[in-house]
Chains A and B, each alone.
Chain A
Amino acid sequence: MKRLYIVEYKLFESTSLYSIHFEGKEHNETDDFILRFQSNSKYKENYQTILYWIKKIGEDGALERYFRPEWKASAIPVTSSKLRLYCIRFSDDILVLGNGDIKTAKKVKDCPNCYPLFKTMNDLKIQIDKSIRKKRTFIKEKKIEGKLDFLI
């Protein structure tokens, strides 16, 4: 099991973006996604689409219709591409971004790239929901407060 922290990523007018940071790693997971794909010429357009999409969500709000449900978590899809970024949508105002990769199989469970990322975000959602029920983690307007570290 690894410990991770929910960290503030970017505050926009409509939406607070968070990311997850594994203990001992240099970068949070979303920055790690950026650093791995910023020089990938094959997926450059799709990677840039995801980045700008995040900005639009930040400005317009994380409305449910913009997300593709992936069990308890969500994914940001570029519909013409295999690139995915996993995330957890809590409300129109709060979005936790995770990491992303190229989906190589039709079903996520068959994809060695995406399945661990998908699992991390889904396990985290379960843990956060539990922590909210136990009144250790709180969703207050545009903020996540209280217990922000979890073992995944």
Chain B
Amino acid sequence: MSKIFDKALKEVSDDVKRFVDNSFDVVNQIHHVLTEKNLSQRDLAKMLNKKESEVSKWMSGTHNFTLRSISKIESVLNEEIVSIPIKSRKKYYTVKFVPVKTHAKPNQTYPSKEDYQEEGYVKPSKKESNLCKVA
């Protein structure tokens, strides 16, 4: 394991770290939108009237995006790529509390913790469903 790399990494300045972090975030967001819309980098290049090789360079994680180029990408994809904290706060703070009412029968069983997996809710077993019906 390289001690020279570890030592050198500690000396990387905060602004360089932020630059690379931001660049990766932008690239990953663009990639996410492209995947969601079933588009390729080639499609994006065509939409922007750019060469595919240029768009590939942007996706390296070290590209210094300008606000102009981000805006163009947002425009052709019709999606937000960059969120500004003050705007996001305004947008999301308007939904601070959502009242939720639940109605339950006295003997109703609920799925146990194990029934919740990372990918979502697992259907209750037949036994559990029957218990609900009985109640």
Contact = CB atoms under 8 A, between A and B. Distances in A.
A65 B5 contact: no
A68 interface: yes
The binding surface of chain A is classed by DSSP as helix
Number of chain B interface residues as a range: 20 to 34
B57 A68 contact: yes
B9 interface: yes
Interface string B54-69: 0011111111100000
Interface stretch (A29-37, A86-94, A119-127, A142-150): A29-37
B4 interface: yes
Nearest to A65: B59
Given A49-B19, A53-B61, A27 B12 contact: no
Nearest to B6: A10
A28 B2 contact: yes
Contacts of B60: 65-68, 76-77, 79
A51 B115 CA distance: 43
Given A10-B1, A31-B2, A77-B57, A51 B64 contact: no
A56 interface: yes
Interface residues of A, number: 33
B4 to A, nearest CB: 4
A8 interface: yes
A66 B16 CA distance: 17
B117 interface: no
Contact of A56 (B11, B20, B63): B20
5 contacts: A30-B2, A48-B16, A49-B20, A51-B12, A52-B20
Interface of A: 8-11, 19, 27-28, 30-31, 34-35, 38, 45, 48-57, 60, 65-68, 76-80
Interface of B: 1-2, 4-6, 8-9, 11-13, 16-17, 19-21, 24, 27, 31, 41, 56-64
